[in-house]
Structures are given as structure tokens and as C-alpha cells.
Structure 1
Amino acid sequence: MPDWIPQNWRDYSLWGWLAPVLSVLLAVAATRLLRPRLVRRLRSLAERTPTPIDEALVYGLEATRPWLVGAMVLGPATAHLPLGAPWSRVVEVITVVGVFVQIGLWAARLIDFWIRRSRQRALKNDPGTATGFAVTSFIARVTLWAIVLLVMLDNLGINVTALVAGLGVGGIAVGFALQNILGDLFSSLSIVMDKPFQIGHFIDVDGYVGTVEYIGLKTTRVRALSGELLIFSNTDLTKARLRNYQVMQERRIVFGFGVTYDTPPEALALIPGLVREIIEAQPQTRFDRAHFKAFGAASLDFEVVYWMLTPDYTTYMNTQHAINLRLLRELNDRGIAFAFPTQTVHLQAVRPVRVRMEPPPSDS
């Protein structure tokens, strides 16, 4: 062997060096070949049982990585070799990292299985919970890998307490840098927990109206009536004045009209009852009131209030269309004219003033 190889390495048998290498390669090859077959076999058995535990175990088994299994085998396979301090430390780091990363992948897979299963059950009753599970999944994964990282570093002999203290100071700086992103994240969580709106709801955000299509960790997407996609940051939504029309049970309608000043008082007194009759003839309506409201600048103004017993906007417009047509017809039949803006100009004759002009006196 070359002179740069330590003497204790050269004194060890060749088979002693080949055995760990073959063990690692065998572990990687066996995992790559047997994992798909084992997963298919266990899945067929799990489908026959009512409990979800075996399904979760099979789902987690799919996250097994051959190269991580090889890293896990490396430590025990080389335990008998006279590697010395530097190389023993390298093998220890590779083995510990392989073990904890693989455990993290298994745990993340189990979390994903639980969230996916819970989401499928919840969506049957409440479609708006989809975002809640997305936020829960994100927080659970971040927490999981933070724990895995800290435990792994602790097993490698690193002072985790000092590291956490340092991260706390650095986290303040990172928090200031990412305050907008973190603000949107917590706003998303607030939307999920408080549920001011959900996917499929028709909302009005400061004059922008549309149907909610997606609620994400940072933004919410709303499909406008004209077809374009409106994108709001979650922070803006939690601060905005928002109207949710989806939860409306009834729709209150207020409209007005005016008739001309030459309408006799007897005809004016008939109008509220006539309006009530017209509204009550329409389906899904409840009459509230109709009053001679005010003397306008060019009309005698009436105000009408009624309720639509359905929140559907198209139904409301069809009903209002029918009310307007019949109101126009009934008032025309009674000789009552609708007023429109007019202006009367009064001209007053003024007696002309005669002005006598005399030449100025001369200086002479």
C-alpha cells in the first residue's frame, strides 16, 4: 500500500475493508429493489382492514430513501475498522444525518397522510377548510424539521442551547426582513380560523367584487364579474372593509321614483297601496313600506322598501324589472306622469331708464 496510508490501516485485512463497502451497497440495492414490492404487498393487505393505521404505515414506508439507508448502515458496518479520530467523526456525522433525515421523512409522510385524510372528510361538509389544512400542514412541517434539526445537532455534540440563543437574536433580524411575508401568513391563519369568507363566496372588497377561488398562505385570488383574476394580499383583506354576499339570507331593496307636481292629492294617496299590490304580486317578495317621502326640486318623491326572500341577484333583477314595468303601466293608466328634471325661468319686464347725455362745459 502507499506510504500515505496509516500503518494501522495497512495492517488490517483487505476483506475487513471490503465488508463495510459491500454492506452499504447491499443495503442500498436491497432497499431499491424490495421497497416497491413490499409497499404493493402491504397496501393490498391494508385495504382489507378498516383501521387507517396500517395504511399510514404503508404511506410512510414509501418515503424510505435507499441512499439514506446506506448512510444508516455505514456507521455499524465500519465500527470495527481502525479509522482514527478524523475519519471516525466523518462516518459518525454521515450516519447520524442519515438516521435523522430518514426519520424526518417518515414523520413528514405520516403528517401528510393524516392531513390528507382529515381534509377529505372535512371537505364533504365545509369546502372552506381546505386552506386551514394547508396552513396546518405548513406549520406542522416547519415544526417537525426544526425539531429534527435540533435533535440531530445535539446528537452530533453541538451546543444546541447556544445555537438556539443565537438563532433567537438572528430571528429578530430575519423577522424584520420578512415581516410582510409573516404578516400575510398570520393573516391567512386568521382568515382560516375566523372564516369571514370561504372558497366559492361572493365578496366585495373596497369596491372590487367577485367569487373567491383560492385562499393561500400569502394571497387570496378572487374571480371578478368581468372575468379577470383579482389578487389580494391576506394582510390587505384582514384590514379592508369586506362584504360577504354569500351568507345573505334576504336582500333588502330600496328604490324611489317621482311624479309631477300637477298630480292631485287624491291620486298621490292611491300610489302607496298600488305599489304594495304590485310588489306582493311578485313571487319571493315581502313588502315593507311605500311613502310619499319629500317635495323634490322637480318632483313629488316616493320611497319604496321591500325584501327579496332569496339572495340570488338575477332573481332580484328579474323581479325589479317586472315591478318597474307594471308600475309604469298602472300610473299611465291613471294619468299620473313620472317627473323628470325641469327648470322654470321667470322673466320680469323692467321699465327702461332714459339717460340724457350733455356735452361737458367749455373752458372759455
Structure 2
Amino acid sequence: MSFNWINESTAINLALALVITLISYIVIRRLITAITGRIASWSSRSSHGWTHYLGEIIGRTSRLLILLMAIQMGLYVIDLSPAWESRVSHIWFLVLALQFGLWMDAAVLLWARSALSSKSGHQRSQLTMTMISLMVRTALWAVVLLSVLANLGVDITAFVASLGIGGIAVALAVQNVLSDLFASLSIGIDKPFEQGDFVVFGDIAGSIEYIGLKTTRIRSLSGEQVICSNTQLLQQTIHNYKRMSERRVLFQFDISYRTPTEKVAEVAPLVKQIITSLEKTRFDRAHLLALESNALKFEVVYYVLSSDYNQYMDIQQSINMALLKELEQRQIKFGMPVRSLEFLEDVPVIQRASSDVDESRMVQK
């Protein structure tokens, strides 16, 4: 095989370019390794977590892109034609744009991972963080791709316009799906409820089992699974009972009108004494609310210092049992519906009236 086309000058330039490429590659690799090691030592001595993430981001530098950069450095010692000079200059931008995209992509992934693993990570939905990171990464690589195409001389104006028109057409075709998707994103960001919360809306009451991209699944009290669209769910007025730190309780009871006044005055302090003696309760008020037609009505308000419904029922049961016992000891009876009957003394009048009615009926017949 003949290599007559390679003269001495070309051979020297190629050898020099190869040496410069190897040296550049080694130097850049060593430099990145040194920077990463220095940042790692800083992060071990510093309380700031961003230094650790900075080291991980720089550590994501692509070896292939480093090699391409080193080859470009080696090509500078060779006299290239104007066409090749232009191509090499475009490769510079391609390498830098791709490496910048890799760094930013790593930063987004690290941010999502740190957000989920932080102390407040239980308040963040993994689905939401995944969606946000996916959207940001998609937008990032779209910008990188368009920048590379524009640098290569491609007219991206028509391309961007066609993408916009196509995006509008797709959005109109799948608007219900996109509506539920963004509703899911809204649930993840605003967090009106989370997995495990007990919610009530409309005639549905149950615990949140799963929050998906399109639907939310709720395990109702009767046992079946209720599947709701995210969009329709956010349009409801939702009562989230899991976030209730305390429960306000209002109840009423009646006592008889035959109760002496001095004993009626003892009822409100008695109720206060019963409620304050129980744990996880806070007494608010107890009053003689109204003089009803058949009983004296009392109204009581207190707070249960827990969101547990079973605990509230246990406390209310204890209050009711104590009221029964204390009122019985004081011979105070609860109010009952009373109906009184009055009889007329002049019975013959009633009989005559009834006979007159009978006579009138006979006449009509």
C-alpha cells in the first residue's frame, strides 16, 4: 500500500495533532477529577449541601465530549480548508451545548431527589416531583436541540411554528387528559390532600389510596373503591379530616320543667366539671339555651384535642354516662315529650250536642 499522498509536513501535523489531542484529553480529565475532589473535600468540611451537588454535577461530564473537545484542540495545528474550519467551529458549539444540557439535566434530577429525601419530603408527592422534573428536562433538551440546529444553519422558524400548531392540535384532541394531568400537578403542588388522608366531599367519605396522573382512588367507609377524575375532584368542596388538629363538639340535652330552679342552676357547672375531668378535652361553654314547650334545653360546646373519630366517640360516651349518673343522684330528670288532656265537667252538654248532631243527620237522611 502506498502512502505517497502523505508528505512529511502532513505526517508531522497529524502526529502533532494526535499528541495535542492525547495531552488535552488527559489534562481535561485530570482537571475535572481535581475539581471534583476539591469540591468533595469542601462539602465534607462545610455544612452547605450545595457543594456536594456541585461536585456531582461536574462529575457528570461526558468522556466522549471531552474527547471531541480534545480532538478539536488537536485540529487547530492543522491547516484545514474553509469548509472544514466551519464544521469544526460548529462542533465546538455542539460539544458545549450537549455538555451544558447534561449538567443541567443532572442538576434537575439531583434537585428532585433531594426534595423527596428532605425532612419535608413526606409533604411532597413523588408523582408530582417526577412530573415537574420530566417537564423541565423536556423543555431543557428541546432548547438545546433547537440551539444546535440553529447553529448548524437550519431555519428553525418554520419548525417552531409547526411544533406550535401541532401542539395546539394535540392539546385540543386530548384536552380532557391534559386537564386531569394538570389537575394532578396542582394536587401535588398545592397539596389539598395526600395519600392516607380521610376526606369527605359530596356523598363520598373515605381515605385517599392513590393519586394518579388522571384519577384519584378513594377507599370509602363501606369498603368499595371510588375512582374520581382529578379535574372533577378539585371542583368539589373537600373536607380533609386528617389535618384537623382538634374537633369542636356541640351537643344538647333537655331536663324536665319540674326541676327546681336551684337544681337547674347546678347543671351547667356540673357539665363543666365532667368535661374538664376527662383527658384530651377543652371545655368551652354550657348554657341554658332555651325554654322549650316541653323541657329546659341546655347547649354544651367543648373541644376534643385529637382528630381521631373513635376517640371523640369514647369521650362523648363518657360524658353521657357521667351525666346520667350525676343527674340521677340529684334527682333531676331529663325532659320528655308531655301531652295533657282536659275533660269538660258538663258531660250532658256534650251528650246533647252529639244528639243534636245525630238528629240533624237523621233529617238530612
TM band (smaller chain)? 0.5 to 0.7
Q: Which structure 2 residues correspond to residues 285-364 of structure 1 after superposition, within 5 A?
A: 285-293=282-290, 295=292, 299-300=294-295, 302-313=297-308, 314-338=310-334, 350-351=354-355, 353=358
CA distance 1:154–1:301, shift in 2 (3 Å)? farther
Among 135, 139, 145, the alignment partner of 2:141 is 145
Among 160, 182, 185, the alignment partner of 2:178 is 182
Q: Indicate if the aligned counterparts of 1:292 and 1:300 stay in contact, CA closer than 8 A.
A: no
CA distance 1:162–1:328, shift in 2 (3 Å)? same
Q: Which residue of 2 aligns with 1:7?
A: none
Q: Indicate if the aligned counterparts of 1:257 and 1:303 stay in contact, CA closer than 8 A.
A: yes
Runs of at least 5 residues in structure 2 that lack an aligned partner in the other structure: 7-32, 79-91, 344-349
Q: Which residue of 2 aligns with 1:205?
A: 201
The CA deviation at 1:172 is: 2.0
The CA deviation at 1:319 is: 1.5
Q: Indicate if the aligned counterparts of 2:149 and 2:156 stay in contact, CA closer than 8 A.
A: yes
Q: Secondary structure at the match of 2:122?
A: coil
Q: Which residue of 1 aligns with 2:27?
A: none
Q: Which residue of 2 aligns with 1:86?
A: none
Deviations 1:297-336 (A, max 9, x none): xx52624232225133333222211110011223333444
Q: Find the aligned partners of 2:69 and 2:218 in 1 and give their Cα distance.
A: 49
Q: Which structure 2 residues correspond to residues 1-364 of structure 1 after superposition, within 5 A?
A: 56=53, 59=56, 104=101, 107-120=104-117, 123-125=118-120, 127-130=122-125, 133-198=129-194, 201-212=197-208, 215-224=211-220, 230-259=226-255, 263-266=257-260, 269-270=264-265, 272-273=267-268, 274-283=270-279, 284-293=281-290, 295=292, 299-300=294-295, 302-313=297-308, 314-338=310-334, 350-351=354-355, 353=358
Deviations 1:234-285 (A, max 9, x none): 322321111233443432211123345xx41526734642333333333322
Q: Find the aligned partners of 2:125 and 2:284 in 1 and give their Cα distance.
A: 40
CA distance 1:107–1:337, shift in 2 (3 Å)? same
CA distance 1:212–1:126, shift in 2 (3 Å)? farther
Q: Secondary structure at the match of 1:248?
A: coil
Q: Quick check: 216-225 or 107-116, which moved more?
A: 216-225
The CA deviation at 1:353 is: 1.9
Q: Indicate if the aligned counterparts of 1:256 and 1:301 stay in contact, CA closer than 8 A.
A: no
Write the letter of the residue equivalent to 2:297.
F
Deviations 1:85-123 (A, max 9, x none): xxxxxxxxxx99999777645542331012212432xx4
Write the letter of the residue equivalent to 1:295.
E
Greater fraction helix = 2
Q: CA RMSD in A?
A: 5.5
CA distance 1:201–1:146, shift in 2 (3 Å)? same
Write the letter of the residue equivalent to 1:159.
D
CA distance 1:282–1:166, shift in 2 (3 Å)? same
The TM-score, its normalising length taken from structure 2, stands at 0.62
Q: Which residue of 2 aligns with 1:27?
A: none
The TM-score, its normalising length taken from structure 1, stands at 0.62
Q: Find the aligned partners of 1:331 and 1:52 in 2 and give their Cα distance.
A: 65
Q: Find the aligned partners of 2:216 and 2:134 in 1 and give their Cα distance.
A: 17
Task: Give the aligned length.
Answer: 326
Q: Secondary structure at the match of 1:302?
A: strand
Write the letter of the residue equivalent to 2:157.
T
Q: Indicate if the aligned counterparts of 1:111 and 1:137 stay in contact, CA closer than 8 A.
A: yes
CA distance 1:73–1:157, shift in 2 (3 Å)? farther
Deviations 1:97-156 (A, max 9, x none): 999777645542331012212432xx4146313455344313312211321332243345
Q: Secondary structure at the match of 1:305?
A: strand
Runs of at least 5 residues in structure 1 that lack an aligned partner in the other structure: 1-11, 14-37, 81-94, 358-364
Moved beyond 6 Å, runs of 4+: 41-47, 61-76, 95-103, 341-349
